[in-house]
Structure 1
Amino acid sequence: MASDTAGSWTPVALSADLPPATVIPAWTPVGAIVLWRSQSGRVSAAADRCPHRGMRLSHGFVRGEALSCIYHGWSYSSAGGCVRIPAHPNLIPPETIRVAVQRVEESDGIVWVAVGEPEMALPCLNRFVPIRSLTVDADIAAIEVAAGGKAGADGLIHVADCSWTRLLPTAQVGRTLIHLLVERDRNLADQVAASRIAEAVRRRAEMHQKDVA
């Protein structure tokens, strides 16, 4: 699962939250990234800074198979190379103009980004599927207290109030991103109930964090 050291996978977003031609900001233990899906459906991840003027690429837009900066329109491929500079349409951009890219994979409805060179394969969620993500202003320890369960060997936090629900956490700066998972065969009513329980866990975790601060 995700860690604060190199050699791990970080769950940064749900596949459902990244439809074609979409750009969103995300975070890994090594810093902010831009996550985007091309028009054909390919997911890519890169450092969230345009090498031209430093504008955040997560403010940009997708055109075809390239990510374009919102400032001056410089465009980058999934491999990180600059492929177009609108002010110089006849120029072939030098190979030195590029953004750092990260290895990215999709599995079980979650987008994972590699930190360093992962020693293990992508985690398998088995019978669970993700339904939403929440940001919690608390650390993972506080979330475990609020959920009434510890993270297992698979990195998933068990929720005492809902045995068929799990939380997949990713530590961020001063907060935690959690992906809410439920068993595959659960109906819409169960998913709504799990979402409400997750919201309650968030409130308890944030209160606990304030109490111990």
Structure 2
Amino acid sequence: MNQPSRISLLGSFPATSGILALLIAAFIIEVLSGGSQNGMVLARLGANYTPLVLEGGQWWRLVTATLLHIGPVHLLMNGWALWQLGRLSEITFGSATTLALFVFTGITGSALTLLTVKLSAGASGAIFGLEGALIAFFLRHRDHLTPQGKSLLKQLLAWSAFMIAYGFAVPNIDWMGHFGGLGGGLAVGWLLQPRTARTGLLAKGAGLVGALVLVGAIALAVASPPLR
């Protein structure tokens, strides 16, 4: 299995670039709506909150919460991590699969957060999902990895361990969302196969479903009645 020794900054990464653009657009809307650290603004725009999801039936929040961020530092950190892992995911799995992974693991991360009762937002669950998918895929196919690929796997494992420890050490970090995204990514990544014509067709279908879910969730968020 051929693995890239480095990632070109000049490459074409439509899924990663598109998601980043969405995150930036959502953050601008947060600021214009009253502030990215205002709980009511975040809740109104689609942040994850257990009572609104389980009792209010607003399941679309599991998706829209991944697009919102609490303050510029939160956005910058997640944006940087997404730029690194998203490009690697697109090189490894393709753009369509990367989009599908982001949406799916964002949902699994948000779903696990429902075990708590707090307002949560951020793309970190989906980012952990991309990382988990890459780790599981490389582990399953480790016999075919180049030395560069094996080195990359070690880096991913070390980075995951560091970020998990960081999530426990720093207050107010949604570590349950991280675990939910990571678990979803590990499960899917283990099942993924190296790209072929057949898997490419399946990937396009998964990417289309992911895009529809993302657009549908945003549409429901826009159409939902204002919070009182």
TM-score (norm 2): 0.23
Question: Which of structures 1 and 2 has the bigger CA Rg?
Answer: 1
More relative contact order, 1 or 2 (CA 8 Å, 6+ apart): 2
Identify, as 1 or 2, the structure richer in strand: 1
